[in-house]
Structure 1
Amino acid sequence: MTDAHLTSRTEVRDFPVTRPDSCSFDPDETYTRLRAGEPVSLVRCPAGMTAWLVSRYKDVQDVLADPRLSSRGAGSNHMLPSFDGGDPVPGFMIQLDGAEHARLRRLLMGEFTMRRAEALRPYIQKITDEHIDAMLAGATADLVRDFALPIPLLVICKMLGVPYDHHEAFRRDSQVLMGFDSDEATRDAADQRLDGYLGEVIGQRLTEPQDDLLSRLIDRGNETDRPLTTQELVTLAKLLLVAGHETTASMVALSTLVLLENSGRMAALRAAPDTIGAAVEELLRYLSVIQFGLLRYATEDLSVGGTAVKAGEWLVAAVPSGNRDESVFPAPDTVDLGRQARTHLAFGFGAHQCIGHQLARIELRIALVTLLRRVPGLRLARPLTRSDFRLNDIVYGLRSMPVVC
């Protein structure tokens, strides 16, 4: 997929993907220069298209909120060489616009209220303590495998009514779909396995409803003039299962690493656990795990940050860059756990803001506070290398994190 007509309008650089050797938490240094001098600039994406890269906070907000910019390519398909710009799959909510998107979001909103998220707090605390018990029973552990990944996966499985017995397969297939290193055949196979398994669960719920999200979703859909199709249900379930644990798992592991790298941060948070709310918001801003931004498609001519964008052109809202905008967050490359950072863009913005943001916040707060309280001697078992990081995945994170408890 190419956009030759754009290349004559200005210099086109390759999409920035290289993290600095000096800090594994910082996005590509190109963003700092772009914000200062070329905040809306043309880039050549791995998918083959040329796109406008939007790097300043306010412009990123505007792009994500503008109904003239379609989400048909969301979330980060500009990084996928096999992406052909085709129509979204029915039920794939993050790629739908207008009434189609609103229809599905309305059916789901009741499952992700603050009240429902708070009702899960005792369960989240219970499984957090159980996983810490298991870690403490051994001399060493892998914080990703033994703590960060299983907790949010258990939570979303419980919500959906999907048995946790298949969690290893869920992890494996989710990570294939969230990465850009696998070939198309491998990605298709992972996609089909998840579709097949979730299709079986949904088939059961259609005949034998339970007290779970999927059953309630089916009921709500049946009460409308357009019930959800089986394909829509499978796609929604897959989106919730994958997105519902990958981002939170990455945030738990990376946040722990940020704290471990500075004993003062750990001590301050351990001494004042009631400050965890502000600390989590700052960590969300600083880490911005949706590392390659969010893709949008112009449905009509418009202006973004003073730059003319024509109908049919692509844009990438660079969330990590927006969250490091000096004009909004002073000293943005510094972690300040007391910063009032709740206006960050880590959960997106506008109509497509992450529907599970309340739940994710509660999971992060419980996981980090409990870990600091119960494992005061936590430290890395060995220095991490670049190979430990998921550098080419939709969600930035760690593949493994060996720790001593």
Structure 2
Amino acid sequence: MSESLHTVTTLPTERRPGCPFDPPAELAEARRHGPISRYTHPGGIPGWLITGYDLVRSVLADPRFSSRRELMNVVDFELPPAPPGEFLLMDDPQHGRYRKPLVGKFTARRMRLLTERIEQITTERLDAMEETGPPTDLVTAFAKPIPTIIICELLGVPYEDRASFQEQIDTFMNGEVSEEVLTTAYTATQEYLSQLVLAKRAEPTDDVLSDLTDSDLSDEELQGISLILLAAGFDTTANMLSLGTFALLQHPAQLAALRADPALADQAVEELLRYLSVAKSFMRTALVDVEIGGHTIEAGTTVLLSYNTANRDPERFTDPHALDLGRQEGGHLAFGHGTHLCLGQQLARIEMRVALTALLHRFPTLRLAVPPEEVGLRPETADIYGVKTLPVTWDV
């Protein structure tokens, strides 16, 4: 028997006051009506919204649903194919051609070997915070620099270029700038990556991009791959570190449990990933008619997959709206599922475990420097959810 059908006409642009960690009320309401709803895309195009864990996971694993950008039926004009190398918006075999050379670069073993370097960078940032003294903005002082330095080192971005490079990526991913500013930042980043690829071909160094120049990938393809890795490796982890710290500071019992037992760190990371789901949603388009959740998704129809409601699904997780660092239920979808499962998931986990554990150890009295309602949140229009700034202080 099919679920009763709910209709969502527009997605919310902000979260409920006082609930910065919960999915927007309209999405939560849709999930209460069932795991699948009718939905109208911003271009007035009819589609579907999937909010339930099992259905989101099944779509992500179903080859009858496409990730290709040019097939996304969400606006009243045709979208162009993704640029070469930007494999998140492609299907196999193109997706596999770009992903395969990267898989060996991001194995759990290789990422564990980076732990010492991540610890070193984290210590340097904490030393700088301690030297400057409170209060400070944790986003700029801690959350952004750590993943930025790591991903830049992995790709071989020279040290002197990293500050301007971070600023460019920050600009075109924050969801609040004008189209003109966004285009300028995006173009500047592309031009920089183009020159970086040429430099690595001329003089390879010990980094992932140099290794890839030894493949059959073109300069343009390497540029696209680099953009994906930089944007994903920087923005998602930076927001998990800052928003994750905010969440812990707002849940003192959970914070105390983590401080008392550092061995809880791995579980804490998984729970924060589930609870916050900063990569809120992705889209897929049906290649053929597909029966799902008691409804037929017609070929050519685009579905919006809500990760943040799937990871709060009461049919999958006990007391899903509670932050519980001792939670034993795994299997969250924060990194996606299926062929597009996040390549950098192990790196993100290590960065979060090392950084959060060290931060809480170094500053046992860490707390917000402003009332929680004054913490500036990213808008729902941003690709990645998080905080703009996180003013914190501590006892000296």
For Structure 1 versus Structure 2, the TM-score category normalised by the shorter chain is over 0.9
Specify every segment of 5 or more residues in structure 2 that has no aligned partner in the other structure, as ranges.
none
C-alpha RMSD over aligned residues: 2.1
Shift of 1:284: 0.3
The reply on whether 1:332 has 2:326 as its aligned counterpart is no
Aligned to 1:36: 32
- AA aligned to 2:16 is P
Which residue of the other structure, out of 157, 162, 165, is the alignment partner of 2:152?
157
Shift of 1:12: 5.0
The reply on whether 1:373 has 2:381 as its aligned counterpart is no
Count of aligned residue pairs for this structure pair: 387
1:248-287 alignment, distance < 5 Å:
248-287=237-276
Aligned to 1:356: 344
Shift of 1:115: 1.2
- AA aligned to 1:187 is L
The reply on whether 1:13 has 2:9 as its aligned counterpart is yes
Whole-angstrom distance in 2 between the partners of 1:256 and 1:217: 35
Shift of 1:384: 3.9
The reply on whether 1:404 has 2:396 as its aligned counterpart is no
Which residue of the other structure, out of 138, 141, 144, is the alignment partner of 1:146?
141
Whole-angstrom distance in 2 between the partners of 1:77 and 1:235: 23
Whole-angstrom distance in 2 between the partners of 1:122 and 1:333: 34
Instruction: Pick closer, same or farther for the CA change 1:271–1:83 going to 2, 3 Å.
Output: farther
Whole-angstrom distance in 2 between the partners of 1:98 and 1:356: 19
Residues 322-353 of structure 1: CA distance to partner in whole angstroms, max 9, x if unpaired? 00100111111111100024300000010001
TM-score, with structure 2 as normaliser: 0.93
Whole-angstrom distance in 2 between the partners of 1:102 and 1:402: 42
Whole-angstrom distance in 1 between the partners of 2:117 and 2:377: 29
Whole-angstrom distance in 2 between the partners of 1:236 and 1:67: 23
The reply on whether 1:123 has 2:104 as its aligned counterpart is no
Which residue of the other structure, out of 194, 213, 216, is the alignment partner of 1:218?
213
Whole-angstrom distance in 2 between the partners of 1:376 and 1:117: 28
Q: Which runs of 4+ in 1 moved over 6 A?
A: none
Shift of 1:386: 6.1
1:152-301 alignment, distance < 5 Å:
152-219=147-214, 221=215, 227-291=216-280, 293-301=281-289
Specify every segment of 5 or more residues in structure 1 that has no aligned partner in the other structure, as ranges.
1-8, 222-226
Whole-angstrom distance in 1 between the partners of 2:329 and 2:235: 22
Aligned to 2:291: 303
- AA aligned to 1:66 is D
Shift of 1:188: 2.0
Whole-angstrom distance in 1 between the partners of 2:103 and 2:259: 34
Instruction: Pick closer, same or farther for the CA change 1:10–1:84 going to 2, 3 Å.
Output: farther
More displaced stretch, 33-42 vs 274-283: 33-42
Which residue of the other structure, out of 117, 127, 135, is the alignment partner of 1:133?
127
Residues 186-225 of structure 1: CA distance to partner in whole angstroms, max 9, x if unpaired? 2222111011111111101112111110011121x2xxxx
Instruction: Pick closer, same or farther for the CA change 1:382–1:77 going to 2, 3 Å.
Output: farther
More displaced stretch, 247-256 vs 85-94: 85-94
Whole-angstrom distance in 1 between the partners of 2:31 and 2:91: 28
Residues 253-298 of structure 1: CA distance to partner in whole angstroms, max 9, x if unpaired? 111111111222222101100111111101100000012x101111
Which residue of the other structure, out of 73, 83, 90, is the alignment partner of 1:89?
83
SS at match of 1:388: coil
Aligned to 2:305: 317
Aligned to 1:52: 48
> How much identity, in percent, do the aligned residues show?
41
- AA aligned to 1:336 is D
Alignment check: 8 A CA contact 2:174 2:382 kept: yes
Instruction: Pick closer, same or farther for the CA change 1:77–1:236 going to 2, 3 Å.
Output: farther
More displaced stretch, 185-194 vs 88-97: 185-194
- AA aligned to 1:31 is L
Aligned to 1:224: none
Alignment check: 8 A CA contact 1:384 1:401 kept: no
- AA aligned to 1:103 is R
Alignment check: 8 A CA contact 1:282 1:340 kept: no
SS at match of 2:69: coil
Shift of 1:304: 1.9
Shift of 1:10: 8.2
Shift of 1:48: 4.5
Alignment check: 8 A CA contact 1:18 1:27 kept: no
Whole-angstrom distance in 2 between the partners of 1:355 and 1:323: 20
Which residue of the other structure, out of 62, 82, 104, is the alignment partner of 1:110?
104
Alignment check: 8 A CA contact 2:8 2:30 kept: no
